[in-house]
Chain A
């Protein structure tokens, strides 16, 4: 066809100019033009517009049924080693106070977190008995629906007054106190700076909050400053986002896993420089540190209005069950509607609230308890350092210390044998237990707790037994 077209052109005046082209176009038959146009469009479509057909994976019903029949799930739980210590715990009879009875033998208790020896205290027990006679045992409801008992309100007020803050709020379980508080304030786009050595409840709270987490090395202020400066640089790049991002610093007063105090004064200074809020978890330091037991803010003489929130449990020094948080009304009130462990959980049984109130009474009346505790902690620290062969971790005035063997000797097996030996000599101590999914699993250690009613002779006896244990197990 093209040939016939060419043959119709005057070969002499072959179209080398535009006019000639137009002419040939004008002379061509219609069907030819149409065909050319169609060809042109088909080429264009093939090149640019044809989508490759997706490979469809439509399964037939029979294939689906086969897949369903074939599928085998894992067993519900993996097999567990029957020798795991959790399955072979010691079962006790009798109150777990300064002395414990195991297998009908009494021993001195340096293992439970009974700092002020309130377990078994008669005054506290009498008050609990009175509370049971008035309120029964359970509170039968969450705080929002007739579970608020006047004794809860009294306890919250007393705690706030004790720490000189505006308002307090109580929870019914120590573990979920800080684990519910953190997600109530810190949401998906916020930033949390947290010490690596915080305990498991705080780690769970941080996980539940879904914020950006920045871990800094334990008690290392330089590392914290580095992270803060990094965050500041990020902020400069995106000012709009920075104005909507909250920042929090979460530390513990006295670290449970390490026994040392946190360097709070410098952190408060940095707070005003880098604009973050401080939440302190004083589970171990409430009722143990400070002239009158008011915690680490009293020890460092820091104004509590500069700290946004102080939380703690009532389960260690106070000898009851539950947890609490104190701070300004603005901060604490928010939790009453958005802390999950508070709104969706039953409130604390009144007898435990009564026990906590009485414990607070005792703490306010005998403020020399705390000086005694600090003095004895220092004494114990000196005695422990005098034993050659152990590595002591913990501040000298902390009543909670970690004992380890030097370097490569430090295994759980050896520590367990030391504990076992001590038990035969009527001293109860314990190896600190952790779950495997801690952020930073601490080295195995024996956690020693000092009870304020321990005498010097008893502390000497402890050290003598520890010394002997070294000889026997090494």
Chain B
């Protein structure tokens, strides 16, 4: 019956021992949605919709006052946005709007200070009280814990500002290239193990505006189902034909590859100019890893090109922090285009593309950023260089290694405990993004608020970022979290989980945190 419950078990069936943690594993489990939960979630949406229509009706007849900004539309103008588009915003999102866009007032580190805000009119507007809430931060993308205002990185940044200013006010091709930028690019190439690299000021724009310079009309893009919006926008802007394959499903990808090469371009059947497979290293909503060895094997077999977006995985995965390529022990030269961002593990801002010299030269010449966008801000570049220096230090006891090990340990510990406690957890056992399923929109709001009341700041997401029925809470672990903080979070999660009836896993029937803790202590004692 365990086989019936496991909906998708990918790859090979070998069991990893607890000790061999560095060995990459194919073990991803996605437990099936309990039928009762699906039923309640759909019912939840139906009720929300009914109430939404009712309230809209009241608003239309002015029985209820129209809150929020109304358009003082001069007569004759077509309304700026359709009322249907904003139906969801008004009636579903509006009810839980206080869970999003929470302002903070400190470093987004392991703990964060949130500004307390209250709403007098049901989330249409907010008022800030003078108070602040201190909470454990499981929402920011701070994987290696470098978001810090008094570490060595910040010291370097503070020294650079008087020397180089805060901006260059010029594009890269004109007078915006400082020797600091060149230093960043060479360090980055060394870190990633590629020939060259180029850095940009924004990760989103890196994808959206550089994919069009690599592929164009007459090319084929095979993109994973769950790719990020920036990749989708870049693929659309390029003008190439896009085909989507099921998430992480290598059989589907191979089938589509074979079909496409055999049939050629649609209608006139000329052969494709090139085929580009776009995948991400770690998918931030599912917590899953891409299957890099299979992808590289397929890419070589069918002569396609591979574009790997390591936004969440660079720095966070791998024994040396070099991303999924490091984790799977693959050769960086096998991946044609490595892309990543500096916002997550590097606690800075920006994106990069790395690869062979021809690729980077081509991007330098044809990219929008070279010609039109202002070059990266010097203090931000300095922060990235400091972090890279930490990570490049091969010494076992270096700061970089310690943080990578801490993150890996945190990930394993947290995921194991969470699933043993009965939560339905998705994703790869070694990914630092931990989604636990909530299913219904009301639980999304309730979980968020209850956790905050008890001092933990989490991110909960629902439709449209996830499928309709699969609302979830997404914990982002960080090397800045200590074991005590994680234990505290697990205890609180147990409490809230019981309150909301979330611990519904059939694979791991629910157990209390204390029970698991005692079991582990006994095991430790018996091993000594």
Contact = CB atoms under 8 A, between A and B. Distances in A.
A73 B275 contact: yes
A430 interface: yes
Contacts of B241: none
A137 B154 contact: yes
Contacts of B329: none
Contacts of B178: 91-93, 96
B166 A135 contact: no
A133 B150 contact: yes
Interface in B146-192: 147-150, 153-154, 157-158, 161-179, 181-182
A153 B127 CA distance: 13
Nearest to B148: A136
B422 interface: no
Q: How large is the interface on B (under 10, 10 to 19, 20 to 34, 35 or more residues)?
A: 35 or more
Interface stretch (B47-55, B318-326, B364-372, B518-526): B364-372
Nearest to A432: B174
A59 B208 CA distance: 38
B139 A73 contact: no
Interface in A415-474: 428, 430, 433-435
Contacts of A341: 202, 204-205
Contacts of B373: 173-175
A331 B80 CA distance: 8
Given A140-B344, A140-B347, A96 B166 contact: no
B142 interface: yes
B245 interface: no
Interface in A194-216: 199-201, 204, 207-208
Contacts of A134: 106-107, 149
Interface stretch (B8-16, B30-38, B71-79): B71-79
A166 B173 CA distance: 37
A329 B237 CA distance: 30
B221 to A, nearest CB: 13
B358 A128 contact: no
Interface in A312-335: 313, 315-316, 319-321, 328-331, 333-334
A80 B137 contact: no
Contacts of A92: 175, 177-179
Contact of A208 (B72, B237, B363): B237
B364 A132 contact: no
Given A146-B112, A148-B101, A334 B272 contact: no
Contact of B261 (A71, A75, A77, A172): A71
Interface stretch (A33-41, A117-125, A405-413): A117-125
Interface string A330-361: 11011011001100111011011001000000
A140 B237 CA distance: 27
A390 interface: no
A148 B97 CA distance: 14
A234 to B, nearest CB: 14
Q: Which of A96, A112, A245 has the largest count of B CB atoms less than 10 A from its CB?
A: A96
B410 interface: no
B141 A140 contact: yes
B526 to A, nearest CB: 41
B166 A73 contact: no
Contacts of A129: 158, 161-162
A78 interface: yes
A174 B203 CA distance: 13
Interface in A294-323: 308, 313, 315-316, 319-321
B105 interface: yes
Interface string A72-110: 111111111010111101111111110010000000010
Most buried by B among A97, A320, A351: A351
Contacts of B347: 136-138, 140
Contacts of B169: 96, 112-114, 119, 315-316, 319
Contact of B305 (A76, A80, A138, A246): A76
Contacts of B302: 68
Interface residues of A, number: 111
B262 interface: yes
A345 B202 contact: yes
A146 B104 contact: yes
Interface string B95-123: 00000111111111100101100000000
Contacts of A18: none
B359 interface: yes
A272 interface: yes
Interface string A144-156: 1111111011000
Contacts of B297: none
Contact of A76 (B74, B359, B377): B359
Contacts of A30: none
A115 to B, nearest CB: 8
A379 interface: no
Given A76-B305, A87-B364, A136-B148, A94 B164 contact: yes
A74 B274 contact: yes
A277 interface: yes
A89 B172 contact: yes
Contact of A93 (B114, B162, B179): B179
Given A149-B105, A200-B371, A330-B70, 20 more contacts: A67-B261, A67-B262, A73-B303, A73-B304, A87-B365, A92-B178, A93-B178, A135-B107, A140-B147, A145-B140, A146-B102, A146-B459, A175-B373, A201-B368, A244-B78, A321-B166, A321-B167, A336-B101, A433-B171, A433-B371
Interface of B: 68-72, 74, 76-78, 80-81, 89, 93, 100-109, 112, 114-115, 137, 139-142, 147-150, 153-154, 157-158, 161-179, 181-182, 201-205, 208-209, 214, 228-230, 233, 236-237, 258, 261-262, 271-275, 302-305, 336-337, 341-344, 346-349, 358-359, 361-366, 368-374, 377, 379-380, 383, 457, 459
14 contacts: A73-B272, A74-B274, A100-B175, A120-B165, A125-B161, A138-B147, A138-B342, A140-B108, A141-B108, A148-B103, A185-B81, A315-B167, A331-B80, A340-B229
The 3 closest A-B pairs by CB, nearest first: A173-B202, A112-B170, A77-B362
